[in-house]
Amino acid sequence: MQSLGLFLFAIGFFPVKPALNGVSGLESYEAVCYSNQKDIEKNIPPNRLLSLYEEKSGLPVQFDRIILMVIDGLPAEFVLGKGRIPPTDMMIGAMPHTQSLLSNGKLFGYHAKAAPPTVTMPRLKAMTSGAIAGFLDVAYNFNTQALLDDNILGQLARAGRHMVMHGDETWLRLFPGLFIRQDGVSSFY
């Protein structure tokens, strides 16, 4: 009886999330006209695929490049202030270039709030794929495998965008082969 209770607790507390097959594509913008839409997309060169995405979305391109800077563990109030209170002069002086870009409207700050577990791999998966982390992901953090679920970095790579990465090597283990240049540092420095 105790074994059954422990088993039921374990499958409820540590649910295994099934991976969804495939990635989203042009069908996100219009009704699917072809039964073999995915086969058609695989044969489109990345630069043409990018222009098709831009045409189908109906949104004008506002930037030719983007820099995504993720600073793990940096309190947002150090850069963005808290509520309507701006950051202190000391904090502004610590990151003057970042502050000048923010004040000129050339940089957008976003404060992401993470719920436990707060180790690197589950947070990266959540930010890039929208997957909700579970407590079992904490154990998987030490043996990170490639992220096979649909994610924003994979979409950018398929559309021919070039990405460069400097930072935690967990990014390289989650997204092998996506970066044209990389410099991974150990998570435990």
Query: Do the domain assignments include residue 11?
Result: no
Report for 56-65, 102-111, 138-147: range of highest mean pLDDT:
102-111
Under a CB-based contact definition with an 8 Å cutoff, are residues 23 and 158 in contact? Answer: yes
Query: Do the domain assignments include residue 42?
Result: yes
Query: Do the domain assignments include residue 94?
Result: no
Q: Using one digit for the tens of pLDDT, what is the confidence trace for 72-108?
A: 777 888 888 888 888 888 888 888 888 888 889 888 8
Domain total for the chain? Answer: 2
Evaluate the omega torsion of the peptide bond into residue 117 and state whether it is cis, within 30 degrees of 0: yes
Q: Using one digit for the tens of pLDDT, what is the confidence trace for 6-63?
A: 888 877 776 666 666 777 776 665 544 454 555 555 667 777 777 777 777 777 777 7
Record the pTM. Answer: 0.67
Half-sphere exposure of 185 (CA within 13 A, CB side): 5
The boundaries of the domain holding residue 57 are 24-61
Under a CB-based contact definition with an 8 Å cutoff, are residues 87 and 81 in contact? Answer: yes
Q: Which pLDDT score is estimated for 32?
A: 42
